Amino acid sequence: MNAESRPVGPKARKALERVIAANAAMRDAETVRKMESQKRALAIAKARAHGMSLDAIAQQLGVSRERVRQMAAMAADPVRSDDEGPGRSPN
Range list of H helices, the chain: 10-49, 54-61, 65-76
Query: Are 8 and 16 contacting, i.e. CB atoms less than 8 angstroms apart?
Result: yes
pLDDT at 86 over 60: no
**Domain residue spans of the chain:** 10-79
The answer to whether the CB of 65 falls within 8 A of the CB of 55 is yes
Whether pTM > 0.85 for this model: the answer is: no
How far apart, in whole angstroms, are the C-alpha atoms of residue 26 and residue 52? 35
Residue 62 — very low, low, confident or very high, per pLDDT cuts 50/70/90?
very high
Round the average pLDDT of the chain to a whole number and report it.
Answer: 83
* Tens digit of each residue's pLDDT (9 = 90 or more) over 34-58: 888 888 888 998 999 999 999 999 9
For 5-9, 12-16, 29-33, 53-57, which range has the lowest pLDDT when averaged over its residues?
Answer: 5-9
